[in-house]
Every structure is written in structure tokens, then in C-alpha cells.
Amino acid sequence: MRISDKPIAAKLAALGVELSPGVSMTEKTSLGIGGTTDLLVLRKFETIPEIMRLLAADGIPHRFLGGGSNVLIDDGELSWVALHLPTSKPGLSVEGNIATVDAAADLGGMVTFCAKNDLGGMEGLIGVPGSVGGALRMNAGAYGTQIGPFVKEVQLYRAATGQIEFLRGNDIRFDYRHTSFAPDDLMLRVKLELPSIPFKEILAGIKVCNEKRRSSQPLNQKSAGCIFKNPPGRSTGRMIDELHLKGHHVGDATVSDRHANFFVNAGSASCADMLALIEDVREKVHAAHGIELETEVIIWKN
């Protein structure tokens, strides 16, 4: 969607919005897949409610784009604008056992920052790509660690009220790769309460997690992490592997030969290619195991 030539563009600029016209989402996602739309960088938290009111009044649909690491975006000209928080110099601070972090901060960078301040517990998240806000939205986790249990407070734009609000951690439901945040809520900042652990101990845990990732994941290829959630008591990657589907592909959308629940863009895969591969693998797993796999990757269609 293009709004750079509409009257609303000047109004948004007055509210501190930086508008980049015709941005390809292939440049903004870890899969390197996605169509083209205008990108709006929201530089002033306090103006976000007014920005949302302007977009609604003009009937302009939008999507919140974080680090772009867990999303599969449709091809072609997109029917919505992308909203993005500035990622340069995000706020990170520590007071006692509380780390206050901007949602736009890199997740791995946040884990490292906390570690240097002797705050640990999140070592398993060190290699999970994306932003802190995206991790909050999906309750990101790895190697037995999830971000949810550490959340003390979240500052966010609440779509239901049209206001910026604060939610206590115990008022948010954190489930497996799912939370109680509404799709149109926008995470702005989080306070995390973390245990005090000596930096050397945290670093040792980080090294173990990094070694596991390097040995089992296609870190040098374009992917969105795990495509499917694990059913209770089962490993999706193992089920796909046992069906000998590593290397199976639709166009350049390919099941990784390192981790069968990672689907990679091996060249110039389209969203249509990736969706066809997802559906094909889902059908094969259902036929073999009677299990209907649920996608972990977020799919944005026009």
C-alpha cells in the first residue's frame, strides 16, 4: 500500500513518523520473502495513539513489523502499511534485578547486556533471532527457557483502548508460543526481573546453547526458525525427518537438511512456494501420524 503521496503523509511526519515508500519486505525479514509496501518508523511513543487514529480515519490497514524473524509475508503489492519501531540505540538499563528494555532491542543483544550486568536465566534465548517485542508477543523460548516468566511489566499501545498502558506480568497469559496480547497491541518497553548470576556462569551457559545451535540449525541460510509448533509430547522436527523429507522443496522453499522443522529460502523462494511446502509437509505428517500441525511462523496474507 502506498500512502506517501496522500495528505496523511504530512500529518504523520508532524507526529515524528519517518515514511519510506515502496520498501520490499524481502529486505526486512529473515526469510527474505515478501511483497512491497510503505514502511512507517514510529519514533515517538507518545504520538502512537494519534497515529493509529489517523490511520483508522483514513481506512489504512497496518501490520506491526518487529525484527522480521518469525513471519512469512505475502508476495506482490501489499494491502497494508508496515509499522516499525526504531532499532538504532534502543534503551537498555539495569537497576538491581530489574532490566528495562525497549521492545525494538535485539533479543540476543538484550541477553548479552543483562549477562554483563550479572543478570541471567535467559541463556537459552541468546541465539533466537528477532526483537524483544516479538519475543514477548510469542513468548519466545528455547532449551527450556521462555521469556514470559521473567516479565514484570510491559508498556504497550493497547488497540482495545487506543491508549498507551502498562500491564503487570501476572496479568498477561504466557503459553507455549502464545500470549494474551491482542494482534493489534504494540509492545513498547518491558521490565524483566532476573536472577543474579555471575557473568562467568552465564557465559558458560550461553556457550553451550550456541554450540547446540551451530550443530543442529541452518544458521547461514534464510529461515524463520521453526515452522511448526511441537505437539504435546512430540517433536515435529523428528516426525518430518522420519518421513525422509529433508531436502524436500517447492521451488526454492526447502526443508532444511540440518533441522527438519526449519524451512529455508534456498534462493528466490516466493511466499506461494513456502505456503505450498508448509501445506505439503503438514499433509504428509497428518497422513503418517494423524496429527494436525500448527504453524509457529506468523503468516501475513493480503
| Calpha distance 167→136 (Å, rounded) | 12
The pTM (predicted TM-score) of the whole model is: 0.92
pLDDT of residue 89 exceeding 90, the answer is no
The pLDDT tens digits for 198-254 are 999 999 999 999 999 999 999 999 999 999 999 999 999 999 999 999 999 999 999
**In Å, what is the CA distance from 94 to each residue of 126, 150, 152, 193, 196?**
18, 14, 13, 10, 12
C-alpha distance across the termini of the chain, in Å: 10
pLDDT tens column, 248-286: 999 999 999 999 999 999 999 999 999 999 999 999 999
Average pLDDT score over the chain: 96
Does residue 127 have a pLDDT over 90? no
Nearest Cα to Cα of residue 197 among 107, 123, 124, 142: 123
Instruction: Report pLDDT for 212.
Output: 92
Quote the CA–CA distance of 34 and 27 in Å, as a whole number. 8
pLDDT, one tens digit per residue, over 46-79 is 999 999 999 999 999 999 999 999 999 999 999 9
Q: Cell for 18?
A: 519517518
What single string gives the DSSP state of each residue in 57-104?
A: HTT--EEE--SSSSEEE-SSB-SSEEEE---SS--EEEETTEEEEETT
